[in-house]
Structure 1
Amino acid sequence: MTAANPRMTGLAPDDIERLHAAARAIRDRAPAQAERLIGEVLGRHAQHAEAQRLQAILFLHTQRAMQAIATLQQAIATHPHDALLHADLGNAYNTRGECDAAIAAWRRAVELDPQQAVPWFNLGRAFHGQGDSNAAVDALQHARALAPEILPAAVLLGDALVHLGHFDGAATHYRDALRLHPACGDAWRGLSNIKTVPLSDADADALSAQLQRRDIADSDRVAMGHALGKLEEDRGRHSQAFAAFLAANALQQRLTPWRLQPFEHYVRQALAATESLPAPIDATLGHEVIFIVGLPRSGSTLFEQILAAHPQVEGASELADLGIVIQQESVRRGVAYPQWVPQASAEDWHRLGRDYLARTAHWRTRRPRFTDKLPDNWKHAGILRAMLPGATVIEVRRDPLETAWSCFKQQFYSQPHFANDMDNIAIYLRDCRQAMDAWRTRDPAHIRLHRYEDLLADPDARIHALLDDCGLDFEPACLQPHQAARAVRTASAAQVRQPIRAGLAHAASYGAMLDPLLQLTGLG
């Protein structure tokens, strides 16, 4: 900001300098100084838009989002056409997790001033998070046109285009990001995840050179390590690939260690707590939902793609809503899940089921049923016969070694993650299967097991069986899932746009290198 900045109109030079100093104090994490300076200006100019905006930014920096929202709303009442106020109001709503309100505010900001790149980027990021990839692409293209130097916009636009199956366009934006920052791990991750288009020898040289640098972030080093491993695997250099994956996961495990004991304790608690549940008030509640659960990299994206080709089913991909509803109930009760499960009444479960359906209602605006493919939802499968008794649960299993090795090779966004360590993968896989076996025994009508290899071996028969298990009539389009026009928001976005075919096993190529993992996962 300078004295000529029109946002400072109406202020004396001393007050302009106070706001400059307040902005620096916010940046330097000196909130008391910033609050004093802004207060002095507001004492003389209570409705000055820029002073109110800086006060709201200060509130956001000091975890007072509700006060930030109130301040910005007050400022907008006086200055309704100030685009920056609307943009910051969107930021404040977003901090509170109020995504729809944030989107509305950012939309208004770009209506008032279409030349603002940041609100366009924030809109794109929000649409991307909601699974609206087409809207995300439109907003992010605006952001990139206005500010091509914004690195996250290039990466996120690449991700959104991948989800829509536009792989060449995605690669262009990932490579734009690499021109801005050659060690951008997210860009390398994006290129590597377009698994139908291998990286080149030039990419191998560039990756190796970047990994030799000492001035790169650990997160970038992890992502580039996974990309290098995938590249070496595609070249048939399996010992080099193995070394790259091993190094990347070892670093990630040091950065975000995953703890095995709490996980095992949770599984034991969940099995015990869900052994006896009250009969549901409405046995059909949740009929609209098809949960697809199991380990990541088990083929669940292909199963969802098959179901999403059905005219009655919307493929919603990986939704966090079930876990959020359970977490909110834990907060309300002041007791961790699953400890409160034995105290929950039929009325409680009915309420929670309706909460979940309300949160996911927008996935049923075009089609009456939808898939929720978050793999981690297996941890909650035991309560569904009380909470959403009409829902179908499809558990997908793949060969244990292939599953374990595919998890080890994949960089996951959510950290800490069990897949950074081979011992942890094996125990996680074992406990998941044992828990699902127990829950399927308790609710065999709604929890159905499907095997990935069986689907590849006989697609026609297994797709008929899948549709039967979901209570769906046969639909010929489900036999051609690669033709389904939808966004696919997982690392398998490229593979599921190819026809179903067998022969996709990779672990055997590593030979004795995977013998320890083979022994750990010897579940058959």
Structure 2
Amino acid sequence: HFLRANPRNVEGMRLLAQIGIKLGILDDAEFLLDSARAFEPDNIQVRLDYIDALRRRQKFAQARTEAEALHARDPENPLFQSHLAIESMQTSDYDRAFELFDAILAKLPGDPATLTSKGHALKTTGAQDDAVASYQAAIAAKPDHGDAWYALANLKTYRFTDDEIVRMREQAGRPDLAFMDRVHLSFALGKALEDRADYTDSFAHYERGNTLKRAQTRYSADAMTAELAKQRELCTADLFAKHAGSGHDAPDPIFIVGLPRAGSTLLEQILASHSQVDGTLELPNILALAHRLRGRKAGQSRYPEILHELGSDQLAAFGAKFIEDTRVHRQNAPFFIDKMPNNFRHIGLIHLILPNAKIIDARRAPLDCCFSGFKQLFAEGQEFTYGLAEVGRYYADYVDLMDHWDTVLPGKVLRVQHEDVLDDLEGQTRRMLDYLGLPFEEQCLEFHKTRRAVRTASSEQVRRPINRSGQDAWKPYDPWLAPLREALGQHG
């Protein structure tokens, strides 16, 4: 309302864009910040917010160009160096990122945020020992820096010492501790005590972290159940029969869908080890398209009803745009993986715009999958994981929706059970490659030797040969899992 009366007010545009980013309306946020930057090119906060919006939209090359422009204005400015380092990481130029991080640390030797970011970059490239040293240096500089404590826990392979656990408890007990430091320390202590088999105390810390995080979210299990039920109601066999032959015919995409912590990074690493397949990221493009199809009216989504109104030309254009917009993440292989797990909600849309795309459902035993999600603090999104009842209900809704897709699109989705991959790696790898129409390659079984940046929480686990370390991890916590079992119901 204010901007209608003051259409060139840059701060108003910036604040509305911030609201858009919080609500996930990233295309509007990007447009507002791009316009604000044109009106006031010297407004540094607008420029920084614009870089943030571009990164969130995974427009990494453009975000880096913007960061380069800021850096060129004042090459010695640590803030500009830091932003350019982060955007260099996103475009896989790790050498430049490390050079910039080191330049900042030469000026600000104990800067905890820089040490932590450098640790993330080292972890992503597989230099685990160096990552640990960088995280520990951040903690030495700022003992309550929860981000670095949790980064150690999130390696999954790090084991905390007695002294570190004492220090974490001291920091967690401080009444003046910042909110996110408290969240990070809760999850880190949960992991540290789990490794010590102190399950009672471990669960108390996981529960505390989740309770804090849940209070911060707007997640509604009822709303999610209703949204997924709408997909089942409106994405019918008739809809797909009506649009047979429509869409963009590119066979390039391989979508790996399911729940987070279900083993999807392992499947991606196996398939990305094949000479004809590029691994990319959890791409936001399908979620962004679904959001756009909802329409502009708050609380009145037109999606998925609108799928019945779209013509062949529109469906083909959406598919072509997906192929074009994701090209930036690919190397030179004919096929590429989009590992966004939440795409399972939009398999109907994917099939309509890209009928030749392949879809793999990465599924894991319900209690293992749900409890692993509950133990994980996600960088953003996946808000259904911050409660045992919520994550159990989401899993049940997911299984019901996947059953629906199997009914209306028979044979479209290949289901790969995580436990079957652990039992028979070669058999399941051959099964996936047969489904994709690709010849078997031995290096797929040597996936842990494949050198590529892995940005998910499983990065260290997929750099090791296949193992069962996560199987049945819920069992010691069984006394506290009644809400999860109840929510899973028949799917438990």
TM range (shorter): 0.7 to 0.9
AA in 2 matched with 1:247: R
Report the counterpart of residue 186 of structure 2 in structure 1.
Answer: 225
Aligned residue runs from structure 1 range 75-86, under 5 A: none
Structure 1 equivalent of residue 279 of structure 2: 315
Q: What SS does the aligned partner of 2:414 have?
A: strand
Q: Match for 1:118 among 79, 89, 100?
A: 79
Query: Which residue identity lines up with residue 121 of structure 1 in the other structure?
Result: S
Distance 1:426 1:323, change over 3 A: same
Q: Contact 1:182–1:210 (CA<8 Å) still a contact in 2?
A: yes
Does 1 or 2 have the higher relative contact order (CA < 8 Å, sep 6+)? 2
Instruction: Report the CA distance shift for 1:444/1:143 in structure 2 as closer, same or farther (over 3 A).
Output: farther
The 5 Å alignment of 1:145-184 reads 145-148=106-109, 150-184=111-145
Judged with a 3 Å threshold, the aligned counterparts in structure 2 of structure 1 residues 412 and 101 are, in CA distance, closer, same or farther, namely closer
Distance in 2 separating the partners of 1:71 and 1:145 = 36
Aligned residue for 2:328?
A: 362
- 1:259 counterpart = 2:223: no
Cα separation, 1, equivalents of 2:357 and 2:146: 39
The residue matched to 2:481 in structure 1 has which SS? helix
Quote the Cα distance in structure 1 between the aligned partners of 2:410 and 2:93. 34
Structure 1 unpaired stretches of 5+: 1-34, 36-54, 74-84
Corresponding position of 2:20: none
Matching of residues 137-152 of structure 1 within 5 Å? 137-148=98-109, 150-152=111-113
Cα gap change, 1:503 to 1:111, in 2 (>3 Å) = closer
One-letter amino acid of the structure 2 residue matched with residue 191 of structure 1 = L
Q: Deviations over 1:215-265 (max 9, x none)?
A: 112221111111101000101111111111111112222222521111011
Correspondences of 1:196-215 after superposition (within 5 Å): 196-215=157-176
Instruction: Give me the whole-angstrom Cα distance separating, in 2, the residues matched to 1:473 and 1:296.
Output: 28
Note if 1:188 corresponds to 2:165. no
Residues 303-358 of structure 1, C-alpha deviations (whole Å, 9 max, x = no match): 00101111111111211121112223434799542232221222222111112111
Q: Is the 8 A contact 1:297 1:406 kept in 2?
A: yes
8 Å CA contact 1:353–1:387 kept in 2: the answer is: yes
**In the aligned structure 2, how far is the partner of 1:87 from the partner of 1:483?**
43
Q: Look up the SS of the partner of 2:361 in the other structure.
A: strand
Cα gap change, 1:137/1:340 in structure 2, threshold over 3 Å: closer, same or farther? farther
Q: Does 1:523 align with 2:484?
A: no
Pair 1:512 & 2:472 matched:
no
Which position in structure 2 is the counterpart of 1:446?
Answer: 412
When normalised by structure 2's length, the TM-score is 0.85
Once the 2 structures are TM-superposed, how far is the Cα of residue 96 of structure 1 from its aligned partner? Answer: 5.7
Equivalent residue for 2:423, pick from 457, 464, 485:
457
Instruction: Quote the Cα distance in structure 2 between the aligned partners of 1:239 and 1:233.
Output: 9
Note closer, same or farther for the CA distance 1:337–1:139 as it changes in structure 2 (3 Å cut).
farther
Contact 2:248–2:315 (CA under 8 A) maintained in structure 1: no
1:386 Cα shift? 0.8
Q: Which amino acid aligns with 1:300?
A: S
AA paired with 1:454? D
Q: Deviations over 1:362-391 (max 9, x none)?
A: 123332211111111111112222111111
Cα distance in structure 2, aligned partners of 1:399 and 1:244: 24
Larger radius of gyration: 1
CA distance in 1, matches of 2:345, 2:474: 27
Aligned to 2:48: 91
1:341 to 307, 315, 334: 307
Q: Could you state the TM-score of these two structures normalised by the residue count of structure 1?
A: 0.81
Tell me how far apart the structure 2 counterparts of residues 144 and 237 of structure 1 sit (CA, whole Å): 38
Using the alignment, how far apart are the partners of 1:165 and 1:492 within structure 2?
Answer: 12
**TM-aligned CA deviation for residue 415 of structure 1:** 4.6
Distance (whole Å) between structure 2 residues aligned to residue 228 and residue 497 of structure 1: 24
Residue type of the alignment partner of 1:512 = P
The equivalent of 1:70 in structure 2 is: 38
Shift of 1:266: 0.3
Give the distance between the partners of 2:404 and 2:222, measured in 1 at CA: 20
Residues 272-281 or 115-124, more deviating: 272-281
The one-letter code sitting in structure 2 at the alignment partner of 1:366 is N
Q: Secondary structure at the match of 1:340?
A: helix
Contact 1:65 1:95 (C-alpha < 8 Å) held by counterparts: no
Helix, strand or coil at the partner of 1:449: strand
- Uncovered stretches (5+) of structure 2, i.e. residues with no partner: 1-5, 18-31
| Aligned partner of residue 278 in structure 2, secondary structure | strand
C-alpha distance 269-401 of structure 1, shift in aligned 2 (>3 A): same
CA contact (8 A) 2:213 2:386 kept: yes
Segment of structure 1 superposing worse, 428-437 or 407-416? 407-416
Q: How does 1:313-462 map to 2 (within 5 A)?
A: 313-331=277-295, 335-415=301-381, 417-462=383-428
Which amino acid is the alignment partner of residue 514 of structure 1?
L
Question: Percent of counterpart pairs with the same letter?
Answer: 30
Which has the larger displacement, 354-363 or 169-178?
169-178
Asked if the contact 1:253/1:416 (under 8 Å) is kept, the reply is no
- Structure-2 change in CA distance of 1:385 and 1:228 (3 Å): same
- Cα distance in 1 for residues equivalent to 2:467 and 2:164: 29
Q: 1:300 maps to what in 2?
A: 264
Contact 1:89-1:102 at 8 Å conserved across structures: no
Asked if 1:241 is matched to 2:202, the reply is yes
After TM superposition, give the deviation of residue 207 of structure 1 in Å: 0.9
